[in-house]
Amino acid sequence: MAYTRIKICGITREQDARLAVAAGADAIGMVFYPPSPRAVSVEQAVAIAATVPPFVSLVGLFVNLAAQDVARILEHVPLGLLQFHGDESPGFCRAFHRPWIKSVRMKEGTDLLEVARRYSDAGGLLLDTWRDGVPGGTGEVFDWRLAQGGLPLPVVLAGGLSAQNVGAAINSLQPAAVDVSSGVESAPGVKDAQKIARFVAAVRHADATHQGYEHDK
């Protein structure tokens, strides 16, 4: 069966990490971008990381953070994947010798093939919604038609996802993974157990439906 990986991002509390893991999330995302309402300190991140069991990925989100500051976080927080949302060059992204993905803010005219060529050694491209001056986490859906067509890198789909639309998103793009934050919250940085459970269930239903369709063809 096709299996869409699920990341719950913007985790700020230990109990929310436990909720996400219990619901079946494959990855937990923590934001190291101080202007974000979901930003965490190194101390918070260490405490959250301690609640996450083996085989669930810990992902750190960065936006134009200085290399020495990224390195300092990595000394304390056992991140398995780095997610870059700023203007980081491919050389910067690979300098930390950890798996990494690059965010692309989608709008009309975005050349995904060129981005994929430039960041060819990324583990994937995370597609989010363009809003001027905002590096991600807008809670808004972009036009998924902008991302249709074969890409040489795996796609992680973000941008305004929720239990109500993630099935349609998966059916449209068949991404390798989906990334949700505000769509499973009761307040910025505070996750809702029922919304997480419904989101995971919607992803798994879409996976099963798509697999059944492929089998019947």
Of residues 9, 26, 93, 179, which has the active-site annotation? 9
Residue 101 to residue 153: CA distance in whole angstroms: 10
Residue 184 to residue 189: CA distance in whole angstroms: 10
| Long-range contacts of the stretch 13-21 (C-beta < 8 A, 24+) | 13/48, 13/189, 13/190, 13/191, 14/47, 14/48, 14/50, 14/51, 16/190, 16/191, 17/48, 17/51, 17/52, 18/51, 19/191, 19/193, 19/196, 20/191, 20/196, 21/51, 21/52, 21/53, 21/56
Residue 58 to residue 9: CA distance in whole angstroms: 10
Residue 128 is among the residues annotated as catalytic for this protein = yes
Main-chain dihedrals φ then ψ at residue 105, nearest 5 degrees: -90, 115
134 exposed, middle or buried (CB, 10 Å; 0-12, 13-18, 19+)? middle
Of residues 16, 26, 128, 179, which has the active-site annotation? 128
Residue 9 is among the residues annotated as catalytic for this protein = yes
161 exposed, middle or buried (CB, 10 Å; 0-12, 13-18, 19+)? buried
Residue 196 to residue 30: CA distance in whole angstroms: 16
Which residues are part of the catalytic machinery?
A: 9, 128
